[in-house]
């Protein structure tokens, strides 16, 4: 199974700053089948990015995804108050689907 | 608007059984695969099981294979997860989720329900 390792575990930033989250795979992710989800406390996850770089419907353009094979990045260009949350990457190119352990973006 | 409403969670003793249900609306149910993902308290997300749009293909995580069974009733727009031989480590919020295609291969999760809590404890 593909193991996804996210870093850092916690990112402490201020509103308006840029956030860069990393997701590294133990082996190449087929056809960049990599997604990013946001989860606020007590809420269900929400799809942000699929196919490594495509924004899901209704997702603001301050969210962007990049990368291929084993290295992927989620960038939030300017943090809004509602962006402070947990973020997970997930690969869906091979079975079983696997998730990273998450990165928490917290207010500094 | 896609809506997914889970039910059936609760407290069950180790070794017991529980059936989760998920009522779907706002999309053509049989055109999409469906999946269950769980999240243990304070932990990350773990894929549990998936089923194709017509129910002909099912997939399970090794941790639940042989104990859990996923099924769907397309005319009723319902998804189910039958959970048997439950263990303490199965304690989690279980999310019902819609997959972006009719097949599970190369498809991601595009909508999530709010989840139902399953607690396995004596």
Q: What is the mean pLDDT of residues A59-80?
A: 97
Percentage of chain A exceeding pLDDT 70: 100
| pLDDT given at position B68 | 98
Calpha distance A1→B55 (Å, rounded): 24
| pLDDT given at position B54 | 94
Q: What is the mean pLDDT of residues A10-35?
A: 95
DSSP string, A30-68: GGG-EEEEEE-TTS--EEEEETTTEEPTT--TTEEEEEE
| pLDDT given at position A26 | 97
**What's B42's DSSP letter?**
T
Pick from B77, B51, B49, B42: which is nearest to B64 by CA? Answer: B49
> pLDDT of B77-108, one tens digit each?
999 999 999 999 999 999 999 999 998 888 99
Q: What is the mean pLDDT of residues B58-67?
A: 97
Best residue of A40, A44, A47, A85 to probe chain B, by most B CBs closer than 10 Å: A44
State the number of CA atoms in the 13 A half-sphere of B66 facing the CB. Answer: 2
Best residue of A97, A98, A103, A104 to probe chain B, by most B CBs closer than 10 Å: A97
| pLDDT given at position A31 | 81
| Helix (H/G/I), strand (E/B), else coil: B66 | coil
Statement: residue B2 has pLDDT above 90: yes
Percentage of chain B exceeding pLDDT 70: 100
Cross-chain CB nearest to B113 (options A44, A46, A100):
A44
Tokens of A20: 């860069």
Statement: residue A37 has pLDDT above 90: yes
> pLDDT of B19-38, one tens digit each?
999 999 999 999 999 999 99
> pLDDT of A76-96, one tens digit each?
999 999 999 999 999 999 989
């Amino acid at each position: 199974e593909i193991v996804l390792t996210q870093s850092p575990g916690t990112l402490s930033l201020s509103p308006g700053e840029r956030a860069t989250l990393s997701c590294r795979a133990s082996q190449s992710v087929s056809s960049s089948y990599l997604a990013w989800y946001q989860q606020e406390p007590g809420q269900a996850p929400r799809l942000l990015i699929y196919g490594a770089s495509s924004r899901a419907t209704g997702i603001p353009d301050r969210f962007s995804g990049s990368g291929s094979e084993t290295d992927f990045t989620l960038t939030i260009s300017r943090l809004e108050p509602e962006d402070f949350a947990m973020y997970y990457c997930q690969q869906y190119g091979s079975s079983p689907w696997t998730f990273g352990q998450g990165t928490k973006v917290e207010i500094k | 608007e896609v809506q997914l409403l889970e039910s059936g969670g609760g407290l069950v003793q180790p070794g017991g059984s529980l059936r989760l249900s998920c009522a779907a609306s706002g999309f053509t149910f049989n055109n999409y695969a469906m999946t269950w993902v769980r999240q243990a308290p304070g932990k990350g997300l773990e894929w549990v099981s998936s089923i194709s749009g017509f129910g002909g293909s099912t997939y399970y995580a090794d941790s639940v294979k042989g104990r859990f069974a996923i099924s769907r009733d397309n005319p009723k727009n319902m998804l189910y997860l039958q959970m048997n031989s439950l263990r303490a480590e199965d304690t989690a919020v279980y999310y019902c989720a819609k997959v972006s295609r009719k097949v599970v291969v190369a498809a991601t999760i595009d909508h999530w329900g709010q989840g139902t809590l399953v607690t396995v404890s004596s």
